[in-house]
Structure 1
Amino acid sequence: MSTVVTGCVAVFAAVVVWSAWHGYRRTSGSADFFVAGRQAPWWLITGSLIASTVSGATFFGLISSYYRMGFSVHWIPLGVAFSWLVICFAVGPRLRRYGRFTIPEYFAGRFNSPGLRVVFAGVTVLWMVFLLATVLVQGGLLFGSLWNWNYGTSVVVITAVVILYTFFGGQKAVLYTDFAQAAAFLIAVVVVVPTTIGAAGGWGEITSTVSADQPGFFGVTGGAVSVLNVMALFFVWFLGYLGHPGFLTRFYAARSERDVIKTGIAVSAVYLPFWALIGFAGAAMRKLYPNVADTETVWVRFVVEQTPSIIAGILFAAILGAILSSADTWLLTAASSGTHDLLRKVSRTDWSDRQLLSRTKYVVVLLGLAALPFGLWRPTYITEMMTIAYTIAGASGGVLILFSLYWRRTTRQAAWTGLIFGAVSAVVGRVAQSAGLTPEWFDPILPTLLGTALLLVGVSLATPTDAAATSAFDRLRTPQPATTPTPSEETA
């Protein structure tokens, strides 16, 4: 590997280390560590959300998915883009208004049910550990491609980097480094993708060659899946993002509701054009490398072979940044919920702010290590691993978030029913699908999501409302000055 490439990655790594240390020195308490003191401007949150959303899965997993499945994969970014519109305009402002720290904490207050907080936190930690494993796979593939390291060694190294970065930095480091990382890989993609198209002979040559090899590649279903499959992709990623605490809690860090709205406009303006470029890159790779052994490293291979060293170095540094930006977001969110909402509640003891902060950092280490075996295992493609995680997130949390924010009549009993049914059905459905017990054209997530929604409606109508729960709902609808409690306060 060129010394220029290695130098670019090394410089970027040094910047990340400095940012984490800078964030560590500016973190004076748990409010800083969890939500950056609630003083993050809209442009900083925008950069962080884009960086966390894109991740290294874009350059390894999604390009591979486009390569294999054609433009049916467009339904993933379409679902995510629609989710961002709903999150930033309909969900984020109300969560910011509620003014707490975690989504399990919000559910406990909204439905007057401390137990719901513990169970939802447990479900969230489990699927986020599996999601975190996908970025360890990405790091393993990146280091292996750059320096020919053994895959297992590469995964262990990226695990250590992610744990240390999150342990020291917290939310302040996440926000600032995510913004820099987002800028780096957006610029790199804008420069490199046209190069891939040109190297493949131009867009006309790509479409004619790839269409002959896989008819329907550029169509709605990519010529490889059914209409029900693409509908499932859309809803899984749309509701999965709605149920993802790592994204939703970003708005707790915002300075105001107005900043949340500005974030929505900015993310929407950047997101779909970026994903369009990734789809073009996937098609170009199919033309350039029609028979590769590992499709998840195909774009890295192209960059190494056909771009100048300085461009390759910037791009690989950007990919490393994208990996870290997602890993720190997911790890910090899982650790926050695991400590703030699960361990503290189960232990039934009062922790000081200092104790909560230190124990959260220890949980960061434990959860990072818990994700390591899944990263080493690499059970399937990165995008498929993420889809499994978002299936559980959408079924257990995404549907419930919408009902809790916009239907006053949603009851505590309905929330419990929807959470348990959604989580269990999502897991059973994915296991059955992996075992080949369902037809290829059918995706079990569709009846799971529909069943969760119907249960929320039916059980809510059949059970009485709770005065505290409806009062919490009314609070969400009424703008008011935000409070800034510490996470060590009892809030549910």
Structure 2
Amino acid sequence: MSIYFWGLVISIAVYLLVGNYAGRKVQGLDDYYVAGRKAPTLLIVGTLVASFLSTNAFLAETGFAYDGYAFLMLALVAVNTSGYVIGALFFGRFVRRSESLTIPEFFAKRFDSRAMQVLAGYTTVIGLTAYLLAVTQGGSILISDVVGIPYGVALVMVWLGYMVFTLYSGSRGVVLTDTIMFLLFTLVSIIALPYLLGEGGGWNATLTALASSEAKPGIIAWHGLTGEGALWSSGKDALIWALMLGASWSLVLAVSPWQTSRYLMARSEHVVVRSACIAGLVLAALYVVLLFGGAAVNLVNPNISPSERVMVWAGMNMMPAFIGTLLISGIMAAALSSCSTFLSLIGFSVSNDIIKSQQWTEHKSLRMSRYIMFAAALVSLILAYFQPPAVMWITYFAGTLFASSWGPVAFMSIWSRRISAPAAFVGMLAGFLINIGAKLLDNAGVLSLPVYLDPFILGFFSNVICILVISRFTQPTKAALAYFETIRQTPKEELDPAEVKKTLIWPVIVMISGLTIAGLLFVFYAMPYAAAVGREFSLFSGESLLSIGYGLSVFCVGLLAFWQVRRVYGRKTAQRATTR
């Protein structure tokens, strides 16, 4: 067996050992569902990033960059990473105050409606089963390529790994392994970049060679490949797609169950805000490395098919064996951590939100969660075997379901007194069904939707319209209004001046980093790209605007976080000191 095989075996073994350790610490539902609500910033950052990246980033999106859309993806990332800070400030910190076990349970409390909990539970199960399918397929493709075994055998290996681990350890194990894996794949991605660029002669030489590529003209232009044979006919269509999908994924990061449920584990609201700032910054930096690295592999082998295998091929052919093993193990780590997150949330939602009985003891609830997780894992195994692999597009479809169904309801649950339970229910249902229906009809050729009428857009605005119309004819209950007022009150323990001061450090770091990223992209991408294609440099070229806009988006979310922390916690802290 090769060194790559043993690297995978060791990484899975470590994963299971950590899960065994964490499982022994599980004493009840709080431990199993929300890790005892004591997680510090590092663990929340680790689980936020690890559960988001998965194989979609390391296999599908790097393959997308390899195909010719590296910097177009950065336009998408510039928008979607803002969702971390926006979600934490305007939804996540309030969810943490609810002390719920799941996000659907929060909706039940907020709207005084068991029906809302059940509906949100069903959307969680359906959306995350699709997401689990995509990540399971990604991990299976990885093992199949590396070990040289049939896809079906690799599929069972991946399935057994995350299923056994998650059933036993719950959220305690998930948050620990997510953090370990986050540190591993982040470090390895950075270490691997010089090897990806080395064949091309370094950053500038690689950029110049890609800019003048005849096989894939426009591969690192801001819009990527366009025209005949490309995914989009023009740069305008490509940009609209990136911004639309970026906006939808910004909502996913802000309100989706596998992201906001992480905040239920946080030790304090300050941990929520800090971790959101750090997670967004890490993703913004890491995507530059991953996407440019994926594009650079073209200079060594422009014929990798399917392109989702590009980073696996690079790890085995462009790097020393040890570095390649670490890279492949890091990708496997990303797959397993995401699978465990999705599977745990599916089990939690079914047992706590859909079929929970008031007569169940805590012990029985825990046992039922494990039974349900096994059933969900079995369904995902069957689907992954029969569904042809399509990691990126399944992931994007599953994620946008939550943007269109949960997005408006989640934010209005915090910021609107008028939204009623019937309005929230119909809005969420409409957003979910219209998104799915439009996507299915589009894929079947019944509809031909322009790029600016993405199914996410149709579902999102249907959701908003239903909420606004039905709220005019219905009223929230007294219990719902009382709960609304309760969660809008900032807990006194969050007003500690020392904690506020520590939290304010991170928005400042984000702002400085944003300006730095803009400057680096401008100097090392926009300017040399213009020279490479023989074009006079312009501050208003697409590449220049992308470079500035990418860093500026990071700066703006840092500024937003700084302003909100000062306004919410700093001012109240000062008022508290004055009254003394």
Query: When the two structures are superposed, what TM-score results if normalisation uses the length of structure 1?
Result: 0.92
More off after superposition, 17-26 vs 227-236:
227-236
Answer yes or no: is 1:156 the counterpart of 2:163: no
Aligned residue number for residue 199 of structure 1: 199
In the alignment, which residue of structure 1 is the partner of 2:181? 181
Q: Which residue of 1 aligns with 2:455?
A: 444
Cα deviation, residue 349, structure 1: 4.5
CA distance in structure 1 between the aligned counterparts of 2:37 and 2:492, rounded to whole angstroms? 13
Does residue 1:368 correspond to 2:367, yes or no?
A: no
CA distance in 2, matches of 1:457, 1:78: 30
- What amino acid maps onto 1:395 in structure 2? S
Q: Alpha-carbon deviations, 1:184-238, whole Å to 9, x = none?
A: 1111000112211222343333432347623375214653431432232112212
Aligned length: 478
**What one-letter code is carried by the residue in structure 2 that aligns with 1:441?**
V
Matched AA of 2:478: A
Structure 1 distance, partners of 2:481, 2:75, is 36
Q: What displacement does 1:375 show?
A: 1.6
Separation in 2, partners of 1:164, 1:381: 25
Does the 8 Å contact 1:72/1:219 carry over to 2?
A: yes
Larger radius of gyration: 2
Structure 2 counterpart of 1:330:
342
2:490 is equivalent to residue 479 of structure 1: yes
CA contact 1:289–1:298 (8 Å) conserved in 2: no
Superposed displacement of residue 380, structure 1: 5.3
Q: 1:405 corresponds to which residue?
A: 414
1:372 offset after TM fit, Å?
1.4
Deviation of 1:481 (Å): 7.2
**Deviation (angstroms), 1:45:** 0.9
> Equivalences for 1:316-465 in 2 at 5 Å?
316-344=328-356, 348-379=357-388, 381-436=390-445, 437-439=447-449, 441-442=451-452, 443-465=454-476
| TM superposition shift of 1:69 | 5.0
* Cα shift readout 1:32-76 (whole Å, capped 9, x = no counterpart): 010111111111111111111111221111111222351322244
Among 260, 265, 279, the alignment partner of 2:291 is: 279
In 1, distance between residues paired with 2:286 and 2:218? 25
CA distance in 1, matches of 2:90, 2:168: 33
Contact 2:67 2:295 in 1 (8 A): no
* Partner Cα distance (1:293, 1:12) in 2: 27
Q: What is the SS of the residue equivalent to 1:218?
A: coil
* Identity of matched residues, %: 24
Measured in 1, the distance between the counterparts of 2:461 and 2:214 equals 35
Distance in 2, Cα, partners of 1:75 & 1:378: 30
Amino acid at match of 2:377: G
What pairs up with 1:210-289 in 2 under 5 angstroms?
A: 210=213, 213-215=216-218, 217-220=220-223, 223=226, 224-225=231-232, 226=237, 227-289=239-301
Contact 1:182 1:322 in 2 (8 A): yes
Whether the aligned pair in 2 keeps the contact of 1:79 and 1:234 (CA below 8 Å) is yes
Distance verdict in 2 for CA 1:76–1:369, change over 3 Å? farther
Which one-letter code corresponds to 1:218 in the other structure?
Answer: A
Counterpart residue identity of residue 287, structure 1: L
Map Cα deviations across residues 89-135 of structure 1 (whole Å, 9 max, x no partner): 22221111111111111111111111111122012101111110111
Say which SS state the counterpart of residue 355 (structure 2) adopts: helix
**1:242 positional shift:** 3.1
Structure 1's 19 and 367: CA in aligned 2 closer, same or farther, altered over 3 A?
same
Partner Cα distance (1:195, 1:459) in 2: 57
Output the CA distance in 1 between the equivalents of 2:68 and 2:407: 26
Please tell me whether residue 17 in structure 1 is matched to residue 16 in structure 2: yes
SS in structure 2 at match of 1:290 = coil
Structure 2, unaligned stretches of length 5 or more? 494-580
> Which residue is equivalent to 1:39?
38
- Shift of the 372–402 alpha-carbon distance from structure 1 to 2, 3 Å rule, reads same
Name the SS for the 2:106 alignment partner: helix
Select the structure with the greater relative contact order (CA < 8 A; seq sep ≥ 6). 1
The TM-score with structure 2 as length reference comes to 0.79
**SS of residue in 2 equivalent to 1:213:** coil
**Cα distance in 1 between the residues matched to 2:166 and 2:111:** 31
| 1:439 Cα offset (Å) | 4.0
Partners of 1:417 and 1:217 in 2: how far apart? 43
Letter in 2 for 1:420: L
Contact preservation (8 Å) 1:206, 1:284: no
Single out whichever of 432-441 and 169-178 deviates more from structure 2. 432-441
RMSD: 1.9
For residue 314 of structure 1, the aligned residue among 319, 322, 326 is: 326
Correspondence for 2:78:
78
